[in-house]
Amino acid sequence: MKIKNDLILIKVLLLLSLWGGGVAVAQPVELVVNASAPGSVVQPDLWGIFFEDINFGADGGLYAELVKNRSFDFTNTPLMGWSPYGLVEVRKDGGPFDRNPNYVRLTGKRELLTGTGLINEGFRGIGIVEDESYRFSFYARTSENTPQRIQAELVDSKNNSAGRIVIEVSGKEWKKYQGEIVGRGTDTHCRLNVRLLSYGVTDLEHISLFPAKTWKGRENGLRSDIAQVLSDLKPKVFRFPGGCIVEGNDLATRYQWKNSVGAVENRPVNENRWNYEFSYKFFPDYFQSYGLGFYEYFLLAEDIGAEPLPVISVGFSCQFQRGREEVVPLNELQPYIDDALDLIDFANGPVTGKWGKLRAEMGHPAPFNLKYLAIGNEQWGPLYHTYLEAFMKQIRQKYPNIQIVGSSGPYSGGEEFERLWPQMKALKVDLVDEHYYATPEWFLNNARRYDNYDRNGPKVFAGEYAAHSVPIKKNSFEAAIAEAAFLTGIERNVDVVYLATYAPLLAHVDAWQWNPNLIWFDNLNIVRTPNYYVQQLYAHNSGTHNLPITRNGQIVAGDDRLYASAVIDTQKREIILKLVNTSPRARNINIRIDPLARGMNIKSEVKATFMSGELHRENTLQEPLAIVPQEEILKMGENNTLTVNVRWQSFNVYKINY
């Protein structure tokens, strides 16, 4: 009987030790942080963001314009997004903007019972907030001698009026008209009904609706809540505008930055690379208005304190569309190289030059101080290095201080990756852009990825990465904690990895092509994912140098399902530890700071921030705060040792002042 009871007790203890309910029975883990000699410098631009107009990230997302296809220039579908009624005709003779030639002619007739007008559906609806103001504008002319009346009315999802305005139009010349609509209710799915109230002929073009409150109050502005969430990350580098959209579905639809600057009405719309992705999500209404163009990207980078890192076409259309990609002949590459040189001029050149002058005319005479430029996105194959070399030769000659980013293809390893890296080394690019979308397991297994990288070659830009959970890809805590574990490896190797940006950044809940993404939104609300908070904790706690953190003299990179890294901020006098426990049980851990640097006096209060939870949990519009960082204050123990009971499945940041 005694033996049986003992066996039951042993089983219970065993179960308790395996279960993650906060009971820790194992011996404490001993970690040591050597604070006596700061290690490698953490590059000040290390943690950043990568923006692409995918998932309605720009048009329908960050760019605050609420009208889809405002200029009637979507290729082959000029009325995409609009439901016309009565007598509405699309014309292109004598419009006010030569690069967006289409406009609509509205004819009002007494006998038309429907009246004449057109309704815009917005980007899966228009988000309107009660008592907020909206700036409605358009260009118009009329052949009538008497003023014509245009009514713009917001209609909510229950078909009630959500605000309206009437504006009189007169004269045969094109003029801009503008007025304010005040929201009469809050609804994420309104529509905009633009109606001709008079009998006669009136032409309309560039029909636009913006919230009055945009980011920094700019007229051609950004959605302030989304821009704020980006700013809250405190990113230090900002890669844009893609991604595959840089390459385009074909060369004609590649991102051409010159089309994205100057008067917003005359930036020619371009088909979005993601218009046809994926076959099960057919979005034939995905165009780029370029309202959020390179000038706005540079401004945003400046606003949020990040270094701009534009990516430009190397002369290949998207290689992912295997068999359909287009490559410009080498002897026709010069215009592409000119685009790169002119871009540097636009960003940094004197206002007396062509491109610097345009920058000044747009409102920014001071240079944007561009220092990075990526040539090509995820390029590979036998031609890439030859094309890149042609760019580099001219850029190095004219702008020797620009740091050039080359590609290592779309995968984290494999034949192309192995071929590309030596080519990038031979070309002496400054940074190599690596992309990896892989399972959480891959991220955990790759925490040591950079430990043995060549210290003398180009530096790494982890330009696109995200853990993709299986079988369903989502922004679960499982993905976030795997990324947190992997990033300890980046902190340990800051002498190799100079920049890192998660991807993709934004996704509209009703119009996404890609999953997972860092931030989700609908037409009025935002969800920060657990992955967002992981990025934020790294970016806010970057330190100035890394420090060795070891267990029995070895790095902490997955043994016993623990991962750890440490940095010091020599200016703020902080030691910051990151600790990831991926096991389903809590752990007692002693972290000893030893030896101390000369004059270092460790303060007793330690700020701990942690994220913990079930692996399948995610933040949603309905439950946006399911997994968020929480804070507590701990006390340093004797011998500069911090004793912590690290929660099961948790990411922990400890800030120790000295």
Site for ligand AHR in 42-71 (CB under 6 A): 52, 54
Smallest separation, CB 410 to ligand AHR (Å) = 5
Window of 238-246, 338-346, 354-362, 522-530 that interacts with ligand AHR by CB under 6 A: 238-246
Closer Cβ to ligand AHR, 288 or 546, answer by number: 288
Give the x-and-dash track for 454-473 against ligand AHR (CB under 6 A): ----------x---------
Those residues with Cβ within 8 angstroms of residue 181's Cβ, 6 or more apart along the chain or in another chain: 133, 134, 136, 152, 154, 163, 164, 165, 209
Smallest separation, CB 372 to ligand AHR (Å) = 17
Q: At what angle do helices 294-304 and 334-348 cross, to 10 degrees?
A: 40
CA–CA gap between residue 302 and residue 239 (Å, rounded): 13
Does position 275 interact with ligand AHR (CB under 6 A)? The reply is no
Using the rule CB under 6 A, which residue among 377, 493, 529, 546 binds ligand AHR? 377
- Reported as type and span, the H/E element at residue 535 is helix 530-540
Using the rule CB under 6 A, which residue among 378, 416, 478, 483 binds ligand AHR? 378
With CB atoms as reference, the residue minimizing the distance to ligand AHR is 243
How many Cβ atoms are within 10 Å of 620's Cβ, its own excluded? 15
Residue corresponding to tokens 């009703």: 510
Closer Cβ to ligand AHR, 280 or 454, answer by number: 280
CA atoms within 13 A on the CB side of 127: 17
Does position 503 interact with ligand AHR (CB under 6 A)? The reply is yes
- Reported as type and span, the H/E element at residue 224 is helix 224-232
Using the rule CB under 6 A, which residue among 244, 429, 511, 534 binds ligand AHR? 244
Residue corresponding to tokens 């036998």: 382
Window of 91-99, 225-233, 242-250, 587-595 that interacts with ligand AHR by CB under 6 A: 242-250
Closer Cβ to ligand AHR, 377 or 546, answer by number: 377
Q: Is 378 a catalytic residue?
A: yes
Which amino acid is located at 506 in the chain? Answer: L
Those residues with Cβ within 8 angstroms of residue 595's Cβ, 6 or more apart along the chain or in another chain: 34, 35, 36
Smallest separation, CB 112 to ligand AHR (Å) = 46
Does position 271 interact with ligand AHR (CB under 6 A)? The reply is no
Does position 450 interact with ligand AHR (CB under 6 A)? The reply is no
Smallest separation, CB 51 to ligand AHR (Å) = 10
Of 291, 210, 267, 278, nearest to 55 (Cα)?
Answer: 278
The DSSP code for 63 is B
Chain centroid, CA 331 distance in Å? 35
Smallest separation, CB 490 to ligand AHR (Å) = 19
Smallest separation, CB 239 to ligand AHR (Å) = 10
Closer Cβ to ligand AHR, 101 or 516, answer by number: 516
Using the rule CB under 6 A, which residue among 61, 95, 243, 308 binds ligand AHR? 243
Those residues with Cβ within 8 angstroms of residue 163's Cβ, 6 or more apart along the chain or in another chain: 128, 134, 153, 154, 181, 182, 183, 184
The DSSP code for 520 is E
CA atoms within 13 A on the CB side of 382: 0
Closer Cβ to ligand AHR, 269 or 506, answer by number: 506
Using the rule CB under 6 A, which residue among 241, 308, 356, 410 binds ligand AHR? 410
| CA angle centred on 538, ends 223 and 294, rounded to 5° | 35
| Residue 590, SS3 per DSSP | strand
Closer Cβ to ligand AHR, 205 or 464, answer by number: 464
Window of 153-161, 240-248, 321-329, 478-486 that interacts with ligand AHR by CB under 6 A: 240-248
- Reported as type and span, the H/E element at residue 478 is helix 477-492
307, 325, 378, 574: the catalytic one is 378
Smallest separation, CB 313 to ligand AHR (Å) = 13
Q: How many residues bind ligand AHR (CB under 6 A)?
A: 12
Residue corresponding to tokens 């010069």: 334
How many residues comprise the chain? 658
* Partners of residue 33 on adjacent β-strands: 549, 593
* Partners of residue 155 on adjacent β-strands: 161, 191
In the complex, the residues that contact ligand AHR under the rule CB under 6 A are 52, 54, 242-244, 377-378, 410, 464, 503-504, 514
Residues annotated catalytic, as ranges = 378
